[in-house]
């Protein structure tokens, strides 16, 4: 049950902030139907001996699962659309309260909802990066699905050697790879996210377990710099004890209520 008094309190804190920063994790996308890595039926539990190395770790241990894994991830993204939480964040940006979003999600749903200031730590599934010159190319939803569907229709086994020649080519002639961050790879936008964190006086934390680093360090740094922390999550996370206010529940239900409260306060 949503606690209305906490919704009002969160709305007041947001109204009094000067520079609010959003911080989102997989739980926000889960409300759009994209399963998280650590769901009960997620990859972490289904393939524990390989999941510590991410998707590539699983494929190294279980190459026979490649078609199932890629098809499942593709269909999950294919059927996903921004939920009310995504749209509420976009509206908070248009209203001038939300200055930027740091996200661990690479599904482009924040941008699809209209958010324009998104710092993606783990890349974007709709973008490819050249292995040689690092030039990037963004694909449309239909373009990405056509590309991956075509590769999957021809896949009878998985290996890096088999898949690289079938990936898109860069203008320089070299192959491109999905611009997503694998386990052990450096995150994207670290400097920009650090700068945004140092500027914020309020961080809105949503849908994250708070255990994946270096992403989870940003709320800690914000708190250390004197910012207030508000968390919206169905259950407590590793960050909850550091927060000034915790609202149990889904972002897609609570954030629209916060937006409406702020509108009422401004009338």
Q: Which residues are catalytic?
A: 122
Quote the CA–CA distance of 86 and 252 in Å, as a whole number: 7
Quote the CA–CA distance of 21 and 164 in Å, as a whole number: 38
- What is the number of alpha carbons within 13 Å of residue 114 lying toward its C-beta? 14
Q: Are 162 and 59 in contact (CB under 8 A)?
A: no
Q: Cis peptide leading into 214, omega within 30 of 0?
A: yes
Quote the CA–CA distance of 140 and 117 in Å, as a whole number: 19
Q: Which helix (H) or strand (E) holds 23?
A: strand 20-24
Q: Which of 174, 183, 182, 19 is nearest to 101 (CA)?
A: 19
Quote the CA–CA distance of 36 and 131 in Å, as a whole number: 28
Helix axes 4-16, 251-265, angle to 10 degrees: 60
| Phi, psi for 237 (deg, rounded to 5) | -115, -175
């Amino acid at each position: 049950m949503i606690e209305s008094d906490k919704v009002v309190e969160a709305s007041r804190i947001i109204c009094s902030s000067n520079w609010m920063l959003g911080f989102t994790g997989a739980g926000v996308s889960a409300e759009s139907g994209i399963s998280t890595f650590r769901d009960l039926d997620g990859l972490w539990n289904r393939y524990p001996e390989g999941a510590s190395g991410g998707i590539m770790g699983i494929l190294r241990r279980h190459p026979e699962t490649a078609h199932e894994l890629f098809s499942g991830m593709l269909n999950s993204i294919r059927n996903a659309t921004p939920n009310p939480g995504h749209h509420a964040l976009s509206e908070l940006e248009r209203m001038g309260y939300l200055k930027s979003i740091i996200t661990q999600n690479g599904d482009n749903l924040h941008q699809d909802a209209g958010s324009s200031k998104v710092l993606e730590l783990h890349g974007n599934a709709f973008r490819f990066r050249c292995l040689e010159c690092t030039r990037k190319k963004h694909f449309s939803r239909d373009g990405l699905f056509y590309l991956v569907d075509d590769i999957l229709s021809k896949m009878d086994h998985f290996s890096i050697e088999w898949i690289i020649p079938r990936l898109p080519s860069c203008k320089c002639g070299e192959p491109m790879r999905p611009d997503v961050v694998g386990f052990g790879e450096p995150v994207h936008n670290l400097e920009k996210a650090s700068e945004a964190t140092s500027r914020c006086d309020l961080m809105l934390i949503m849908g994250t377990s708070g255990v994946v680093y270096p992403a989870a360090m940003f709320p800690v740094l914000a708190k250390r710099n004197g910012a207030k922390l508000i968390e919206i999550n169905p259950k407590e996370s590793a960050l909850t004890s550091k927060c000034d206010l915790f609202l149990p529940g889904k972002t897609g239900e609570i954030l629209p209520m916060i937006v409406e409260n702020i509108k009422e306060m401004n009338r």
